Structure 1
Amino acid sequence: MNPRAPATTLQEEAPVPHGSLSLPARLFLLGFDTEKGKVSGAPDLALAVRAAALVELARRRIISDVDGVVTPVFDARTGDPVLDELMELAEESRPRSWRTWIGYRSGATLDTVRRQLASEGYLSAEHKRVFGLFPVTRYGLERAGYVEVLRAEVLGALEGAEPAGRVDEDDAVLAVLAATGKLRGLIPGKARRTHKDRLDDLAARAGGLSPELGQSLGDIRTALAAAVKAAEAARASAGGG
């Protein structure tokens, strides 16, 4: 669910309930430690945010898998800057698989999410120059209460007693992506292992609208897991491990 946010009208081809914030925006906020006011324990947050954007576009039925290639519906737009930027990139790019799309220019999606959240008051943005030369923007959390409610809803989907088939679809998606993307500040490794079967059930719930969507969500989840594993291996290699 999208806490404390009014419902909006969606396109007819995309009956996905959500409020004013998209899945990638909410996934990004789940990476925050509300006490510290900053992202914590989520080294691969950009990959998870990109996966969330792909899931939302798939649920809206404006991208799909055609013979292993992620294929956009040309000129389809959502009105959300994060999603529309990714749609434009997909239209302009050569054919790519879900696995490639998880990492390809994922930092651009993360940057757009940050700017969107800052413009809507969820984040603060402090602009500085490193050594007086290089511009950087530091983001801080402004709406900790919103994030605390969001985290509680997602953890409730993962740890609660309610059957997975009755869990809110957005909460199911966010729990699965947060676990797969290893947002350890929200879902530590022990919790991922303990709730492995529950995560599978939530993934089935999230993709239950159609077999095609279920397949796409499963492929995105697999692609995200592979991308995170590769990123972890790269960090270990760089650190001499």
Structure 2
Amino acid sequence: RRSSSGRDRLPRRGILRQSKAMFRKPLPTTGAHKLGGSDEKKLRKQIVAAFPCASEDDAMALVPKKAELSLQKLAAPSRTQIYVGDGQPVFYDTSGKGDLFPTVFALWRAPGMLGEPVSVVGAPVSKFLISGADLMLPGVGRVPRIDFGRGRLFAVVVPGNPAPIAVGEAEMSSAEVRDAGGAGGKGRFLKILTTYRDALWEYAASHASRPQLVPNEGFLEKGVVPLGGAAHDDDDDVE
């Protein structure tokens, strides 16, 4: 079980750093099997236990009753398993032992399950995250004002658009972030694990059930922009 603070286990040089995220290449999928009602209940309990900010309602939104839920495995030597709900990969487990990580699809269904998100400095940063970059402090516009350790998971958003574009794992504690100057300071803050338009998103795009692929009109092919055309500093056209 994670602690109450969570999992404690950019268009210019210095804002972003190329990542070695696992979902940059097409998924080497192998067998998949459908999960039943008892599996759904078990997964809901796992979600609430694993993510302190996730409510029972969140768990139900993530795994609705009578959803088309399946477990997709990746080819050896990978042990990764992906929980797919109605064509959307919602969680993945890299060990095959129930250690859940949420995808952006999960966060679109339950936006608060990881607590307050990290906001980047502006929309142009989104295209670099989509391209596989990690997030450095110079590219961060806002860090949640909570105490956290290294390894905590955060959703990442663009200013003016509430839907997460990525999930990242903290490589600095809250104390280290403060010592580094906070948002806009120096150092790699988040290792990006999964993003909009990565291989998990492509898996959904090719799924026979044709699931929803974007949460709102601000999600474009090359990046994410604020809703309603709201003006923000540095929000150049991501196209």
TM-score normalised to the size of structure 2? 0.29
Q: Which has the higher helix share?
A: 1
Q: Which has the higher strand share?
A: 2
TM-score normalised to the size of structure 1? 0.29
